[in-house]
Structure 1
Amino acid sequence: MRAFGKLTACLALFASLLIVSASPAGADETVEPLPDDFLWGVASSGFQSEGDAPDSNWLRYTENGDKHEPYGNGVDFRHRYAEDIALAADMGVEVYRFGIEWARVEPAPGQWDEAELAYYDDVVQHILDAGMTPMITLNHWVHPGWVADQGGWKSADTLTDFTAYSERIVDRYSGLGVMWVTFNEPTLYVFHEIDNGSATWFDALALFDRLAAAHGNAYDLIHELDPGAMVTSNVAFIPATPWLFDAVFLDKIASKLDFVGVDYYYGLSLDNLTAIREVTGGQASAQPDGIYYALRYYHNKFPDKPLYIVENGMPTEDGAPREDGLTRSEHLSDHVYWLQRAVADGMNVIGYNYWSITDNYEWGSYTPRFGLYTVDAVNDPDLVRHPTDAVPTYTDLIESGGVPEDYEPVVPQSICSLIDPPLSCLVPA
């Protein structure tokens, strides 16, 4: 018992030293506006928002009622894209990220649907006419049903087929100032393929290798066909061990990244251990300062590459108030505050996309609501876009270049951030 008491005392002392060394330092510091060339954006994906879905791996997954809600018609971006693009433009948004559905434009091997390609032409033109930059995602976890039939990314043929698809799309939109995302969150792409039974954990490393090769092919094509365009593959930031997830994909493509695209949603710290709830389907408490440490991690890792928050947002359950009481407006403002702190501390952050412009199908469920504009896809046949409190907030943030210099975050700075331990704990912002 005496030995146990000494151990407990030592642990308590160690914890107190951590808390002292990592106590919030300057969370109420004044901040400067972001540079005039900082890019403010919104994000969406094809399958999640379009509706009218063609045969694909994910349409098939949604037919498994034991795991997923029915897909329905998404939020019908396929026919309402002009409305959504206009809503973004009204906020002053400068970048509109969307995804092209491979399954839609190539419904059978080598067969290109010109009507669907024309639909994407019109999407791009609406974005350009609104004065915004298109950010096009080539693959947001969805591939055609015929690709699934040949084994998905387990098949070497899929690498060849994706390269041909990429060439077709890039050539079509070259010269328009497009920013390109090859694969959305490849680590989670592989996880979902395993989780939905299309691959096994034994396939994982081979799948990552093939996705990395596919990214490399697409990167080379983009720089050949669309010189000067910027290319990334955005990463899902996972707290505590980002280096482990980087090792399976990002590190393999590091020489073929023009900017580091980061998706940040939740953090981890001694006073906020709720991130584990994300794994179990719960709702993690927000940790806005974690975006600072995630950016610092990649700034240190890739000091010569620009950084871009490709996705950041907050879910609510069917639009109900969150357990932590945070509003969408407060969540947005707090994260932008920490973006401003990151830029002030020398990090080359060039842009920020809010996920998402509207609520959508969150990979099996309409319950998580992320939209600046909320849409009741289950109960409202008219799919009306209703603005949340974050719409005027985002409009003001874009116009002002961020939060006011005397802004005080709603969520306190964390005690001993575990975003990138031990550095994020021992050297707080």
Structure 2
Amino acid sequence: MTAAWPDHFLWGAATAGHQVDGNDSTSEISFLEQVRPTVFPEPAGTACNSWEQWQDDLDLVASMGLNAYRFSTEWARIEPEEGQIDSSALDHYERMVDGCLERGLAPAITLSHFAIPHWFAKQAAWLSPQAPDLFAAHCRRVIGRIGDRVTLAVTLNEPDLPRLLSTGGMPRQAFEAQRACIDAASQEAGVARYRSGSIVIPEEVTELETGYIRAHRAAVQAVRSVRSDLPVGLSLAVTDESYVSERGKELAQARRKACYERWLPAIQGDDFIGVQNYEREILGDDGPLVPSTSGPNPRPINESGKALYPQSLASAVVYIHKLTGLPIVVTEHGVCTSDDSVRSRFIREALPPLADLVRDGLPIHGYFHWSLLDNFEWVSAYNRHFGLSSVDRASGTFARTLKPSAGTYRDFVRTCVL
């Protein structure tokens, strides 16, 4: 069967389980947060309490006039111990799917958004020969329960990110800190190789990618074995590589070959490719250039100190479609900033070029803004603010308050004609 795409464009917001749910005790991230040394400044803890307040989240999405919501079905919650299935977790995700549909929201699920079961990490995770079969079983389990009501399925979230970071996006000392964390986890867990999909040892990146590719192919087959017409694919982290010299062009092409072209064999036959874009990198003779953020026309920066280029989204989408030939879903796009006026401007400048591409006939099926909430941002903990809504964690109420940028996004969606 052919993929059953909706007859309308998906305008949505996105979250991920460990980053918003709270009280995750059975994933490898939770374990890594506690070992010493660790790369995490603090544990996720209660996060945004979305496991309890998921209806509030869905109400936020609906109140913005959106028609889709992307969230993850956490493997560690569903199978906290190998072979032991927590049916209450599946019940929870079923309620979420039904809650989406009651509000006119298309449910888009991610089957693995970085966090994995602790027991799987003890078996070397994606590096294990058994990983494809174990992950496929999880996928069949989830799709068997809710696959008849979801709109699309992302198998893996940004499996190219370790390679992308290792080619210039992360300093060497940061990778060494990850090595120390993983070594400490292996010792604490009493195993030879405790491994994670997001906290990575540099020399294992190729082995990890191979494991991810095998797991993705098994997952696609598993999803289709249950629901053959459900659109399924994976998402890639895509930096918009640009250049200002011939040498810069060579560097950009080399990075694209290493980070994106590597995935071409893995995605053959998929129904879409997810694009997750946040930044543009401009390359010169000696590598990345540092754009001017001062002077008469300073370029705004995000909380990571990177200059913002709203046009990077459309450029990344065009490149990935040309590379893969697949339909596109923008599964993540946003900006980390505590200045919400920067986010509003970013949305106003980034979305019109994307809409133009849709009108020009490029097969783009949806856009999901990252993120719905100010959440736990991995090794940055709560020091990065991507949310269209703030969350009052300090008072313990976890009250959500939409920011003006949510209105900017709502107004664009309301007036956009595709």
TM bucket, shorter chain:
0.7 to 0.9
Deviation readout 1:270-310 (Å, 9 max, x if unpaired): 79944899xx983212101111211111222233x211111
Unaligned runs of 5+ in 2: 1-5, 166-174, 183-194, 242-254, 294-301
* 1:374 aligned residue (385, 390, 399): 390
Q: How far has the Cα of 1:189 moved from its partner?
A: 5.8
In 2, Cα distance between equivalents of 1:157 and 1:149: 12
| 1:314 maps onto 2:326 in alignment | no
Aligned to 2:260: 246
Q: How far has the Cα of 1:66 moved from its partner?
A: 5.0
Runs of 4+ in 1 over 3 A off after TM superposition: 189-196, 269-277
Q: Which secondary structure does the structure 2 equivalent of 1:368 belong to?
A: coil
Counterparts of 1:24-35 in structure 2 under 5 Å?
none
The aligned amino acid for 2:210 is D
In 2, Cα distance between equivalents of 1:349 and 1:243: 23
Moved more, 161-170 or 199-208: 199-208
Name the CA shift for 1:260/1:57 in 2 (closer, same or farther; >3 Å).
Answer: same
The aligned amino acid for 2:229 is G
* 1:57 aligned residue (25, 28, 52): 28
Name the CA shift for 1:287/1:159 in 2 (closer, same or farther; >3 Å).
Answer: same
Q: Is the 1:107–1:113 contact (alpha carbons within 8 Å) kept by the matching residues of 2?
A: yes
Aligned to 2:251: none
Q: Is the 2:327–2:363 contact (alpha carbons within 8 Å) kept by the matching residues of 1?
A: yes
In 1, Cα distance between equivalents of 2:203 and 2:291: 27
Name the CA shift for 1:90/1:72 in 2 (closer, same or farther; >3 Å).
Answer: same
Identity %: 28
Aligned to 1:201: 202
* 2:314 aligned residue (272, 288, 292): 292
Q: Whose RCO is larger (CA < 8 A, sep 6+)?
A: 1
Counterparts of 1:351-390 in structure 2 under 5 Å?
351-364=366-379, 365-377=381-393, 379-390=394-405
The aligned amino acid for 2:16 is S
Aligned to 2:15: 44
Q: How far has the Cα of 1:204 moved from its partner?
A: 2.0
Aligned to 1:131: 104
In 2, Cα distance between equivalents of 1:254 and 1:151: 24
Q: Whose Rg is larger? A: 1
Q: Is the 2:74–2:111 contact (alpha carbons within 8 Å) kept by the matching residues of 1?
A: yes
Aligned to 1:415: none
Aligned to 2:214: 213
In 2, Cα distance between equivalents of 1:154 and 1:275: 38
**Number of aligned residues:** 358
* 1:331 aligned residue (336, 346, 364): 346
Q: Is the 2:327–2:364 contact (alpha carbons within 8 Å) kept by the matching residues of 1?
A: yes
Unaligned runs of 5+ in 1: 1-34, 404-429
Q: How big is the alpha-carbon RMSD for the aligned residues of Structure 1 and Structure 2?
A: 2.7
Moved more, 183-192 or 289-298: 183-192
In 1, Cα distance between equivalents of 2:261 and 2:137: 27
| 1:225 maps onto 2:209 in alignment | no
Name the CA shift for 1:368/1:274 in 2 (closer, same or farther; >3 Å).
Answer: farther
Counterparts of 1:138-177 in structure 2 under 5 Å?
138-177=111-150
Q: How far has the Cα of 1:263 moved from its partner?
A: 0.3
For normalisation by structure 1, the TM-score amounts to 0.77
Moved more, 216-225 or 151-160: 151-160
Q: Is the 1:288–1:338 contact (alpha carbons within 8 Å) kept by the matching residues of 2?
A: no
Name the CA shift for 1:302/1:153 in 2 (closer, same or farther; >3 Å).
Answer: closer
The aligned amino acid for 1:87 is L
Q: Which secondary structure does the structure 2 equivalent of 1:369 belong to?
A: coil
Aligned to 1:91: 64
In 2, Cα distance between equivalents of 1:330 and 1:46: 28
Q: Is the 2:239–2:316 contact (alpha carbons within 8 Å) kept by the matching residues of 1?
A: no
In 2, Cα distance between equivalents of 1:298 and 1:138: 22
Counterparts of 1:238-277 in structure 2 under 5 Å?
238-240=239-241, 241-248=255-262, 250-269=263-282, 273-274=289-290
Q: Is the 2:303–2:336 contact (alpha carbons within 8 Å) kept by the matching residues of 1?
A: no
Moved more, 362-371 or 337-346: 337-346
